């Protein structure tokens, strides 16, 4: 784990989510010396592990153990520091003690930015729920009245990463991050997720498409791979560019 005082926080519903949707950002910032913290609220053991459930003799605990091992390996490739809350999958349920733990983590890490799911996803209700938890915990961590005397969180920007079917989730690509320099790492992390092998090529195509769009909309003319993000809050600064 990096000793940098710069931290990015990634909060996802299931173990695969951080790889497909934010693996490039994790690898890019880790390569710059940032501490990239990943919180997986569940292992994706029910709805995200269909391939495993077709195996003879499979059990819930076996699926969870396999998904944990996959995610740990993928996070290591990306340079992330991963933590698992094990809060169930289909449905995900975040009890008060787990929510409080996440609030404490915000205050401990003081992340410079947060990456999480979009607010809408008619195909997977765990995803918008994770968005709400991530944003609500951020707000509580900012409140002076929560555990008075502790240092409070500032206002880290929140970026929502691209969902599987963006048009159905009202997702707008407001920021395209150039991940060309680290895409090989992201692809290797894909290949750790044997339970979701059918998505390897899909998300490679997504990265290529966003790379084309990023090059067209910027001076990054050699950009080949990209990740798309949507802001929750406005950008703030003294200059427009």
- Given a cut of 50, is residue 107 above it in pLDDT? yes
Pairing label, strands 226-231, 158-161? antiparallel
Whole-angstrom distance, CA of residue 14 vs CA of residue 195: 12
The C-alpha R_g of the chain, in whole angstroms, comes to: 17
Pairing label, strands 158-161, 113-116? parallel
pLDDT confidence of 4, banded at 50, 70, 90? low
- Given a cut of 90, is residue 48 above it in pLDDT? no
Contact partners, residue 104, CB within 8 Å, separation at least 6: none
Give the position of tokens 């938890």. 133
| Each residue's pLDDT tens digit, 161-200 | 999 999 999 999 999 999 999 999 999 999 999 888 999 9
For the chain, give the percent of residues with pLDDT over 90: 90
- Given a cut of 80, is residue 1 above it in pLDDT? no
DSSP H/E element including 216: helix 200-216
pTM comes to: 0.95
- Look at residue 2 in the predicted model and tell me its pLDDT: 42
| 35, 9 Cβ separation under 8 angstroms | no
What ranges do the domains of the chain cover?
Answer: 7-231
**Top CATH class, 7-231:** alpha beta
The tokens describing 157, both together, are 């920007």
- Look at residue 240 in the predicted model and tell me its pLDDT: 86
Residues recorded for the chain: 241
């Amino acid at each position: 784990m990096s000793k940098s005082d710069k931290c990015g926080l990634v909060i996802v519903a299931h173990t695969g989510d951080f790889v497909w949707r934010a693996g490039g950002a994790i690898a890019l910032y880790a390569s710059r010396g940032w501490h990239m913290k990943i919180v997986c609220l569940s292992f994706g053991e029910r709805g995200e592990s269909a391939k495993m459930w077709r195996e003879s003799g499979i059990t819930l605990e076996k699926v969870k153990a396999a998904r944990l091992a996959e995610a740990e390996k993928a996070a290591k490739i990306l340079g992330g520091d991963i933590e698992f809350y094990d809060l169930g999958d289909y449905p995900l349920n975040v009890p008060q003690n787990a929510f409080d733990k996440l609030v404490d983590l915000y205050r401990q890490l003081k992340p410079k930015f947060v990456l999480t799911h979009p607010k809408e996803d008619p195909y997977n209700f765990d995803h918008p729920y994770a968005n709400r938890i991530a944003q609500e915990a951020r707000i509580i961590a900012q409140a002076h009245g929560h555990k008075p005397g502790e240092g409070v969180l500032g206002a880290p920007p929140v970026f929502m990463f691209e969902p599987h079917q963006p048009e159905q989730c009202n997702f707008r690509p407001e920021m395209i991050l150039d991940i060309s320099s680290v895409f090989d790492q992201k692809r290797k992390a894909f290949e750790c997720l044997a339970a979701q092998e059918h998505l390897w090529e899909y998300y490679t195509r997504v990265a290529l498409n966003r790379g084309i769009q990023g090059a067209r909309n910027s001076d990054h003319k050699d950009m080949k791979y990209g990740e798309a993000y949507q802001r929750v809050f406005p950008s703030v600064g003294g200059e427009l560019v």
